[in-house]
């Protein structure tokens, strides 16, 4: 039976994911606006790509010391791309925070939004889904740029999260211009 009234859906916890790219920047406005409208807790979540299974497979070919050197140099490169300074987790958090502050300032009404920042290492879709489920989030917000070819549709973190998530996922399409 169809209900005669549409229930008001309220969100108390919103997980906004960012890869620190332009599509994430555009989606931040939606996350901040919804957080403000619902007075919801907003968490900004960033995943530094990595694969624990790959670590284990490669350890069978190289010794632990060499693997740590390889891994730390790759992580260093990723972190330099993210924030072009320090190599520790606090620097990534700082980079994500400045990313959010820049976006807050560019919003027309300039709403003050409070948020927590969480940074993890691993497979982005897996970490997003795991974190959202384990911490009781009611909505995941992600950005996505337009696909140029149909073959790339299935290779997107946002599509993978949307297909596998047990909670609602809002994918904010970045305008093509």
- What are the pLDDT digits (tens) for 5-53? 887 888 999 999 988 776 677 788 889 889 988 999 999 898 877 765 5
**Structural domain contains residue 2:** no
Domain of residue 104, residue span? 19-112+123-155+165-173
Number of domains in the chain: 1
**Structural domain contains residue 3:** no
Q: Is 171 helix (H, G, I), strand (E, B) or coil?
A: strand
Structural contact between residues 132 and 102, judged by C-beta atoms closer than 8 angstroms: no
**Structural domain contains residue 6:** no
Backbone angles phi, psi at 24, to 5 degrees: -70, -40
Residue that the structure tokens 């919003």 belong to: 107
**Structural domain contains residue 13:** no
**Structural domain contains residue 10:** no
**Structural domain contains residue 1:** no
Write out residues in the chain with pLDDT < 70, as ranges. Answer: 1-3, 22-23, 51-97, 99-112, 146-155, 177
**Structural domain contains residue 140:** yes
**Structural domain contains residue 96:** yes
């Amino acid at each position: 039976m169809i209900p005669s009234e549409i229930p008001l859906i309220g969100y108390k916890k919103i997980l906004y994911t960012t890869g620190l790219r332009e599509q994430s920047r555009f989606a931040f406005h939606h996350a901040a606006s919804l957080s403000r409208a619902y007075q919801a807790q907003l968490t900004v979540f960033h995943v530094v790509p990595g694969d624990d299974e790959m670590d284990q497979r490669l350890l069978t070919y190289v010794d632990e010391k060499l693997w740590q050197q390889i891994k730390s140099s790759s992580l260093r490169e990723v972190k330099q791309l993210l924030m072009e300074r320090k190599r520790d987790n606090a620097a990534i958090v700082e980079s994500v925070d400045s990313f959010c502050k820049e976006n807050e300032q560019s919003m027309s009404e300039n709403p003050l939004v409070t948020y927590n920042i969480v940074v993890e290492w691993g497979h982005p879709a897996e970490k997003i889904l795991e974190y959202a489920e384990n911490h009781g989030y009611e909505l995941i917000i992600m950005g996505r740029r337009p696909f140029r070819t149909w073959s790339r549709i299935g290779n997107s973190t946002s599509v993978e999260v949307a297909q596998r998530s047990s909670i609602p996922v809002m994918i904010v399409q970045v305008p093509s211009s």
